[in-house]
Structure formats: C-alpha cells, structure tokens
Amino acid sequence: MTLLEAAPLRVAVAGLGFGEKVHLQALRASGSTEPVALWHPRRERVEQAASAASLPGFTNFEALLADPGIEALVIATPPAPRFALAKAALHAGKHLLLEKPVGVSAEQVEELQRLAISRGLQVAVNFEYRAVPVFQQLAALLAAGVIGDPWLVKLDWLMSSRADASRPWNWYAQRSEGGGVLGALGTHAFDMLHWLIGPTRELQGTLSTAIDARPLPDGSGRLAAVDAEDIALLQLGLDAGLATGFGKGSAAGSGAGSQRLVPAQVSLAAVARQGRGCWLELYGSEGTLVLGSDNQSDYVHGFHLWRAGRGEALQPVPVDPALAFARTWADGRIAPVARLHRWWAESVRTGQPMVPGLSEGFRSQLCCDLAIAAADTGLRQDLPVG
C-alpha cells in the first residue's frame, strides 16, 4: 500500500496557540493526516476551539490518550509541560509530533528518544525550515559543492517580536519554563546549521536580557522579573566533514577541509527594533551563498537566495519549481508544517526513521543547554562526536 492509498493518520492536537493557528490547518491540508480531537487544560478554551473546528475537545489528557480513534498527537504546548505529556503519550502507544524546544533540557529529549525506540513509535520535531523550498534549494546547492570547502558561516536572526516592553510577562520570560531566544530561535538555528553544514563540535557565547521586567497579565501594573535571555551571541565550530560535498578540498585551498572545524558566528535577538530579519551567509573556497528575509511579520514568507562564484557578484538564484508548495497561506508557517506532517505520516506508515526527529531535537537542545553553560562559565563547551 502506498502512502496515497493509506488512511490518513488520525491526530489530536494538544495546545491551542501555535497548535490551533498552524498545526490544525496544516493537518487538514497535508493530505496524509486528519485532525480528530483537541486538548487544552482550560475547559472554556478547548470548548471555544473545538466548536470552531467542529472537533471533540478534551480537558482530561488521560481520556484523550485512552481514545482508540486517536493514533498520534501533535504536542504544541509551552515547553515546560511538553516532556510529561509526551512521555505519557508514548506510554499510551501514540506517535508524536513535538514542537521545539522538545523539553527544557537535553536529558529530557534523550529520555523520550529511548522510550520511543523501545515502543517502536515515530516522533517528529517541528523543525519546519527543512521543509521550506528555498532552504531545500540551498541545501541542494551546498550538497553539490557549489561553495567548495566552507570557510565561514554567519547567521543573523534579529527579530522585534519581544521588543515591546509592555508585552505582558508569561512563560517566555522564564528560563526554567523553556523561555528565551535560545528556545524560540536558537533551536531552529542550530538545526539549520547541523543540517546544512554539519554538527556543532564546540560552542562559546554570551547571553543577555535587555528587557528584565514585564507587566503581569492581570492588569495590575505590577512588574515581574524576566530571567530568560532575549539576546544570544554565539561562536560555533561546525564539523563539515560529514556533509555531502564538503571536506574534499579545492585547487585554491589546502585540501584539508575535513580536518578543521568551520567557524560560525550566530547572532540571535528577539528585541531588535527594525532588526534585519533572518540572514544566513555561507562563504567557501569556490563561492558564496546568501539566504535572507527582512520580513518581521512572518517567519517563512520573504526568503530569497543569492549565489556568487569566485570573482563574481551575487546574483539571485531562480526558484526551483520542483520544490515549490502546491499551496500557500497568509501565515507562511502552514505550508512547511503541512509538508512536515506528510513526512511524519509516511514515517508512521512505513516504519522508516523520521527526520527531523528526536535525534535532531536532542542535538539542538544540547547546544542550547551548552550555550547557557558557556555564558554562565565563560568557558568553551565541547560536544561529543556522534
């Protein structure tokens, strides 16, 4: 039976922020998944969403897991409760798609990975940039070796989403709850670099909190302390030797591309007023690739790709129609998430490993944990091979 012939994967959505805005629509659009239920701990909230979506709503998570008509869950809650919910769902035999960060520590991700393997369950992690056409086109050019040996990577992701100091305090303000720019942007940034270049082998950096207090959401005017970082400046060493097309040397280079780490400079901010957006620059022995978007209102729409060979000026790279979405939405996140849902459903139906999954989630979360350690200690952090 092909995936097209298989029945859609029956999925419940737990968490009604990103879950309702993006995952619910993406599940309906993917062609391989079907939303069948919603969960939220507050009754009034789930009743409102369930009525709008014409789906049953649950406030009791155990009752949701006991429903035999639910094969899988999307867990799109805030990060702190995500681990316990995911663990319970795996024990109940449900496949999972988890938002990032998967948990609040790499140890939590590793425990979920062991449990999923022991139960034979497929777990996806929503690193949706792997499903965005222009990012896929960039990955193909890199794999083809168009920049030769990578010499330098620079990623600036400077957004203004938290620049308004009057924005109310919530879980995002607390490091212990998984808040901060590392969890919001850093998890994606690390996964992008691992996918496109290679795994992080060493890391150092500085974290800071520009807005250190925010008003409580009760309207009292009282302020609550913010301890989660809203700025991260990181330096990484990436191992490009494992990536296709890299580490082969060049006529102009030493031929020892696989023997050194590729330096990467990563700047993340959630408080950059008129920030430049997301820009990834890759410089190598044979050329340059630049991917970027200055769109502050959408995290997917607006990306373009440029390329230059040695001695050439940057030129736009035409869009590859073979990678294009069949349909897009005003919210640019829906289309790539729907594509990732299809990959997940195929993984469930075929038993093939899911990528991006918990292995990728673990490596990304480990980098977040070590970025905090590096900032706290002032010491470079080394990551294990493998």
**Residue extents of the structural domains in the chain:** 9-128+336-356, 129-317+365-377
Angle at 197 between CA 234 and CA 243, to 5 degrees: 150
Q: 92, 79, 35: which is closest to 341 by C-alpha? A: 35
CA atoms within 13 A on the CB side of 37: 24
CATH 3.30.360.10 fits 129-317+365-377, yes or no: yes
pLDDT band at 241 (very low <50, low <70, confident <90, very high): confident
Domains 9-128+336-356 and 129-317+365-377 share a fold: no
Residues 6 or more apart from 346 whose CB is under 8 A from it? 3, 32, 352
pLDDT at 5: 64
Residues 6 or more apart from 365 whose CB is under 8 A from it? 101, 102, 103, 105, 106, 108, 109, 187
Query: What is the C-alpha separation between 299 and 55, in angstroms, rounded?
Result: 28
> 19-62 pLDDT, tens per residue?
999 999 999 999 999 999 999 999 999 999 999 999 999 999 99
Query: What is the C-alpha separation between 135 and 5, in angstroms, rounded?
Result: 29
> 174-225 pLDDT, tens per residue?
999 999 999 999 999 999 999 999 999 999 999 999 999 999 999 999 999 9
Instruction: Give the lowest-confidence range in 68-77, 94-103, 250-259.
Output: 250-259
pLDDT > 70: what percent of the chain? 94
Give yes or no for residue 4 having a pLDDT over 70: no
pLDDT band at 385 (very low <50, low <70, confident <90, very high): confident
Query: What is the C-alpha separation between 324 and 339, in angstroms, rounded?
Result: 11
CA distances for 341 relative to 68, 136, 168, angstroms: 21, 16, 32
Of 3.40.50.150, 3.40.50.300, 3.40.50.720, 3.40.50.10490, the CATH number of 9-128+336-356 is 3.40.50.720
